[in-house]
Amino acid sequence: MLVLGLETSCDETGVALYDSAAGLLAHAVHSQVDLHQAYGGVVPELASRDHVRRLAPILREVLRRTGRTPEDIDAIAYTAGPGLAGALLVGASFAESLAFALGIPALPVHHLEGHLLSPLLSPQPPRFPFVALLVSGGHTQLMRVSGIGDYELLGETLDDAAGEAFDKTAKLMGLGYPGGPQLARLAERGRPGRYSLPRPMLNSGDLNFSFSGLKTAVLTQYAQGRVAVDEAADLAWEVQAAIVDVLAAKALAALERCGLGQLVVAGGVGANRRLRERLDAGVAKVGGRVFYPELEFCTDNGAMIALAGMLRLTVGGMPADAQPRGFSVRPRWPLQGLSAA
């Protein structure tokens, strides 16, 4: 079975071809970072228009690299949510139209399920069940994953996600866009001990998160004139340390609560080097193992959507050929509401 995956939930246009027998054949991603940089964040209308421009050329490039034609595709998986409504509609309308023209099924895929399953693209994937830490610009969740579509929410952020905490504090510090990677790079030059920031909900007794207070704490430091120009790296070190401390502690607590030894970390923040070091060391102490997607699959991409679509089709079977029908996207879509079929 050859599945085409399309990802257009935010500011990356991703296309991939996944073969059920041979695995991932090829994928390509176009990032809109340069497009949105002047605005300090993603402009939804610009994102949607850029997806319109990019999808067809990227698809042609992926087909060329694999030596396949549209007629070789058996099904199309596309991100239907959560994400920016306009951006999602671009991918959904493209996928549904192409599927109807080819007479093949189109399958709406949950964006976070794609991230959740992305480590399965690795040569040594985790086995079910496992605990997953989803950490991205818009989501921070801990899930128990028992199988495809069998997800139990263990805890989530009550306000800002971890990625938002990185980006918002970076903006307060005058760093460039995207802020998270910039702050992490600056933190590499920082020294511990100069600043002290809160670790929100670290000892709350549950598996929920809260990161909005970090932004306020950093703002307070600046408002009180406590941050010298040459001390910004030290503040960045403490911001990163605060976020990593909470994420690591909650992830380890989730493993213990579930009685499991496998932790999957997915989403853009999962590429953070300090977070990986802390999780690797902490999970190794309890005899477990951490699984990450390859770095190229940490950010949004079509490969994870193609994989999720293929796994869904494997579990639920191939639906009937495409028929004229309506479709919708879901900018807000709880992951734990998914079923296996």
CATH architecture designation of domain 2-116+298-337: 2-Layer Sandwich (3.30)
Percent of the chain scored above 70 by pLDDT?
96
Model confidence over 54-79: pLDDT tens digits? 999 999 999 999 999 999 999 999 99
Question: Which of these, 133, 218, 231, 134, lies nearest to 168 by C-alpha position?
Answer: 218
Beta strands in the chain (DSSP E): 2-7, 12-19, 23-31, 75-81, 106-110, 130-135, 140-147, 150-156, 262-266, 289-291
> pLDDT tier at 322 (50, 70, 90 boundaries)?
low
> What ranges do the domains of the chain cover?
2-116+298-337, 127-292
Question: Which of these, 292, 301, 240, lies nearest to 266 by C-alpha position?
Answer: 292
- CA torsion, ordered 111, 201, 171, 191, to nearest 10 deg: -120
Options 3.40.50.150, 3.30.420.40, 3.90.550.10, 3.50.50.60; CATH for 127-292 is 3.30.420.40
Give strand pairing partners of 316.
Answer: none
Model confidence over 158-201: pLDDT tens digits? 999 999 999 999 998 989 888 999 999 999 999 999 999 999 99
CA distance 70 to 321: 15
pLDDT at 122 over 60: yes
Mean pLDDT of the chain: 93
Q: Summarize the confidence of residues 17-44 as an average pLDDT.
A: 95
Contact indicator for 160, 168 with CB cutoff of 8 Å: yes
Contact indicator for 208, 201 with CB cutoff of 8 Å: yes
Contact indicator for 5, 307 with CB cutoff of 8 Å: yes
Contact indicator for 95, 78 with CB cutoff of 8 Å: yes
Model confidence over 74-121: pLDDT tens digits? 999 999 999 999 999 999 999 999 999 999 999 999 999 999 999 999
Instruction: Determine the pLDDT at residue 197.
Output: 94
Model confidence over 197-255: pLDDT tens digits? 999 999 999 999 999 899 899 988 887 777 776 789 999 999 999 999 999 999 999 99
Q: Is the pTM of this model over 0.75?
A: yes
Beta-strand pair 262-266/289-291 = parallel
Instruction: Determine the pLDDT at residue 327.
Output: 85
CA distance 262 to 169: 31
